[in-house]
């Protein structure tokens, strides 16, 4: 049992290094970061075991868990219900809409219409969408948001005119996309970025295998495991490069910044850490409970984020529970 315990402790400590180690330098940390959720659960179980045995090993595990408390907060919102002054200056929604279900993944004929209605009913100022189908007339369906800017599969919808707009031109080998738009809110200009970073490109077979393994079912041959790990490593490396490019662009902004979208990465990652540097996370500020935003098999964690400049303040955060896509929509209200 001591060997298992030490392995779990070292694995958890290794996951703590993930935000600080570029996967292009060492990819092991990024893989451990992905496994953080599972490593945390294993260590909690081992803590109970060693407490029951009245062994000092329990203190070591407790110390390691305490050291990771800041990371735990990015996975589990520990804020109370909103109270007091809830006035705000800007409200936004970020949603990966999975091609508006035009390919019938949900197997529900009403899903495309429900998605349209959900977005049109959102009473906010801005909507940032990812995986928007590139169809003629798609944006005319969002009638309550007359202004928009889009590139590739992402879009920013607005109730008020968008000022300067643009996109970050990544290398063609990447599937990632990032656009931005300046909007005037309460007489001040704010720059909003919408991103969809590199996915793992896992096929249905890969996802089903990962799901079975995470549930302790099934067996995998070495070739299958090697193929999946290779995809994870490649995506982690690509997102790290993309995050650095986006961060440099954000740092040149003369205005307060809001960054939202599908990062395809968890809070315990180099990608998130790079983009979150000197920023605030709306979920950490006002989120409650488990914050997972991806409904699919893997990674079923919080991979959609709303970050903003420290000059702004999160008034509220909501991860909605509608299941019109394989992601949950996230909403936030901010004030200056």
Q: Are 168 and 245 in contact (CB under 8 A)?
A: yes
- What pLDDT does residue 216 have? 56
pTM for the predicted model, two decimal places: 0.93
One domain, residues 21 and 159:
no
d(CA 160, CA 244): 30
Is residue 138 situated within a structural domain?
Answer: yes
Q: Residues near 50 by Cβ (< 8 Å), separated by ≥ 6? A: 5, 57, 58, 61
One domain, residues 147 and 267:
yes
Is residue 216 situated within a structural domain?
Answer: no
- What pLDDT does residue 298 have? 62
Give the number of other Cβ atoms within 10 Å of residue 291's Cβ. Answer: 23
- What pLDDT does residue 103 have? 87
One domain, residues 147 and 17:
no
One domain, residues 233 and 125:
yes
- What pLDDT does residue 211 have? 64
Tell me the β-bridge partners of 273.
none
Is residue 120 situated within a structural domain?
Answer: yes
- What pLDDT does residue 203 have? 66
- What pLDDT does residue 205 have? 65
d(CA 257, CA 41): 35
Is residue 73 situated within a structural domain?
Answer: no
- What's the domain range around 185? 90-200+227-335
d(CA 225, CA 217): 15
Q: Are 159 and 145 in contact (CB under 8 A)?
A: yes
Query: ∠ CA(120), CA(121), CA(123), 5° rounding?
Result: 105
One domain, residues 33 and 139:
no
One domain, residues 139 and 40:
no
In the chain, which stretches have pLDDT less than 70? 82-85, 203-222, 297-300
- What pLDDT does residue 214 have? 59
Using DSSP, state whether 46 is helix, strand or coil.
helix
One domain, residues 56 and 164:
no
Burial 226-247 (b: 16+ CB within 10 A, else e): ebbeebbbebbbbbbbbbbbbb
One domain, residues 40 and 137:
no
One domain, residues 273 and 309:
yes
One domain, residues 240 and 295:
yes
Q: How many domains does the chain have?
A: 2
Q: Are strands 90-96 and 126-130 parallel, antiparallel or unpaired?
A: parallel
- What pLDDT does residue 301 have? 87
One domain, residues 236 and 145:
yes
Rg (CA), the chain: 21
DSSP symbol at 327: B
One domain, residues 29 and 136:
no
- What pLDDT does residue 217 have? 54
Is residue 83 situated within a structural domain?
Answer: no
- What pLDDT does residue 224 have? 76
- What pLDDT does residue 102 have? 86
Is residue 207 situated within a structural domain?
Answer: no
Is residue 213 situated within a structural domain?
Answer: no
Proportion of the chain above pLDDT 90, given as a percent: 73
Unique residue bearing structure tokens 């793992």: 200
d(CA 176, CA 309): 23
Is residue 50 situated within a structural domain?
Answer: yes
């Amino acid at each position: 049992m001591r060997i298992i315990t030490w392995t779990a402790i070292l694995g958890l400590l290794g996951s703590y290094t993930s935000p600080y180690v570029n996967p292009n330098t060492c990819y092991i940390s990024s893989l451990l970061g992905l496994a953080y959720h599972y490593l945390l659960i294993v260590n909690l179980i081992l803590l109970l075991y060693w407490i029951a045995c009245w062994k000092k090993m329990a203190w070591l595990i407790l110390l390691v868990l305490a050291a990771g408390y800041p990371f735990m907060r990015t996975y589990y919102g520990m804020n109370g219900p909103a109270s007091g002054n809830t006035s705000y200056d800007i409200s936004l929604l970020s949603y990966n809409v999975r091609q508006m279900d035009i390919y019938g993944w949900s197997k529900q004929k009403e899903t495309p219409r429900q998605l349209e209605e959900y977005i049109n009913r959102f009473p906010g100022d801005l909507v940032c969408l990812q995986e928007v189908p590139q169809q003629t007339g798609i944006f005319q369906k969002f009638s309550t948001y007359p202004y928009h800017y889009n590139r590739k599969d992402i879009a920013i919808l607005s109730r008020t005119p968008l000022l300067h707009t643009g996109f970050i031109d990544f290398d063609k080998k990447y599937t990632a996309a990032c656009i931005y738009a300046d909007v005037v809110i309460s007489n001040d200009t704010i720059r909003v970025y919408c991103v969809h970073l590199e996915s793992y490109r896992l096929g249905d077979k890969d996802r089903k295998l990962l799901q079975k393994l995470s549930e302790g079912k099934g067996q995998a041959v070495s070739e299958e495991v090697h193929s999946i790990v290779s995809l994870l490593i490649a995506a982690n490396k690509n997102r790290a490069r993309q995050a650095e490019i986006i961060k440099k662009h954000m740092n040149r902004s003369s205005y307060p910044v809001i960054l939202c979208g599908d990062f395809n990465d968890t809070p315990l990652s180099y990608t998130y850490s790079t983009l979150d540097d000197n920023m605030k996370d709306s979920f950490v500020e006002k989120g409650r409970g488990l914050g997972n935003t991806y409904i699919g098999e893997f990674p079923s964690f919080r991979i959609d984020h709303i970050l903003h400049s420290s000059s702004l303040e999160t008034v509220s955060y909501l991860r909605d529970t509608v299941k019109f896509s394989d992601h949950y929509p996230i909403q936030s209200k901010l004030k200056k």
